[in-house]
Amino acid sequence: MDWHSFLIVIHLIGTALGVGGATFAEIFIVKALRDGVIDPIESSFLKVTYRVIRTGLSLLVISGFGFLVISRMTGFEERLLSPLLWSKLAIVVIILVNAILLQTRKIPLALGSALSLSSWYAAMLIIPLRSVIKGVNAGFVEIMLWYVVLVIVMMVILAGIKKVLKLFVE
Amino acid sequence: MKNILRTLFVSIIVSMPSAFFAQAKEDPIPKTGFIALIAAHVVLGIIGIAALYAMTMALLRKIPSTTILRLSSVTALVSFVASWITGGIYYVLYYGGAVKPAILSGSNPFAHSFFMETKEHLFLFLPFFSLVLVAVSFFAGDLISKDTRVRYALCGISGLGVLIGIFSTLSGVIISGSV
């Protein structure tokens, strides 16, 4: 197995852990906040999920930069200035900053959780959708604008889910 | 003095097996030794930034875990020093002779003249920030949970370290992409 294949495996494992973890973190938070209180058992589930997300993010970042080193060393430097790559890097930075803002309660949970979930799915889907993105010649700004749209849509969806669940509880 | 130190440093390094670390000429595809150096520089740098980020998140809690603070600060210090050494060797033996001229004569000369020059100086904060964090974690660990001013001050240092680290990393991407 060459380095590139090894890094792909690590990157996919990181994606599964990160995106899966972020999805379940959101499900657990919605479920836990149905009664307005997060009890110790719910809190322990969330802690484990966050640990899984952090593990996934670590694997993704290290393997991701491994790809960049390989690109540089095999003569494909132009990939390092690609709008797709820079959009992904920006989204990873948003994930990191969002986590800090959520921890310090400087951001409403509704916005923070929508940002987190949208960011993970956007980062996952950017590469599979690259043929579409390249086809419409989208640059960094256009990709990030679509990302903002995704965040807004996600906020609306999550708000709707929470409202429906609240009706069931009542 | 700078020239003497530089000559001493280079003479120590080039005494290593020359087949592995041959002096770079204008070769855009480096030898295995240089690939290993740049890979180590990148990975160690990212581990250092991740450790500082973990420390920032730990310090944001009301009662930070002393174990996590000590482990993450030591990891950050060791990683940044190792990244510094590997990056320095790579710069002196390869980048300066083969990559820098290519960037300066290419379409994005600012990649070296701004981003690399800034990175070279800004990253120096990171090992010393980490050293401060190690010192406080090990010698005044109790003070961190008792005094919020100390906690916030350390959080500021580690947070600033994360920002500098992210800037350095993204600068590295721009520099490598401009070859």
pLDDT digits (tens, 9 = 90+) for A3-50: 889 999 999 999 999 999 999 998 888 888 777 777 888 888 888 999
User: Distance (Å, rounded) from C-alpha B130 to C-alpha B71?
Assistant: 11
Q: pLDDT value at position B49?
A: 96
Residue in chain A closest to B167 (alpha carbons) equals A93
Listed in sequence order, the residues at least 6 apart from B39 whose beta carbon sits closer than 8 Å to its beta carbon are: A66, A69
What is residue B22's DSSP assignment? Answer: P
User: What is the ipTM for the molecules in this complex?
Assistant: 0.86
Q: pLDDT value at position B24?
A: 47
Contact B91, B119 (CB under 8 A): no
Q: pLDDT value at position A35?
A: 75
Q: What is the pLDDT along chain B (179 residues), one digit of tens a residue?
A: 777 667 666 665 555 544 444 444 555 555 778 888 899 999 999 999 999 999 999 999 888 889 999 999 999 999 999 999 999 999 998 888 888 888 898 888 889 999 999 999 999 999 999 999 999 999 988 888 888 899 999 999 999 999 999 999 999 999 998 88
User: Distance (Å, rounded) from C-alpha A117 to C-alpha A95?
Assistant: 9
Selected for mutation to probe chain B from A4, A60, A67, A69 (highest B CB count within 10 Å) is: A69
Greatest CA separation found in chain A? 61
Ordered DSSP codes for B65-124 = -HHHHHHHHHHHHHHHHHHHHHHHHHIIIIIIIIIHHHHHTSS-THIIIIIIHHHHHHTT
CA-based nearest distance B38→chain A, Å: 8
What angle, 0 to 180 degrees and rounded to 10, lies between the N-to-C axes of helices A109-126 and A83-103?
A: 160
pLDDT above 70 covers a percentage of chain A that reads 99
Greatest CA separation found in chain B? 57
Question: Angle at Cα B166 formed by Cα B88 and Cα B39, nearest 5°?
Answer: 40
Q: pLDDT value at position A170?
A: 58
Q: Which residues of chain A approach chain B closer than 8 Å at the C-beta?
A: 58, 61-62, 65-66, 68-69, 72-75, 77-81, 85, 89, 93, 96, 99-100, 103-104
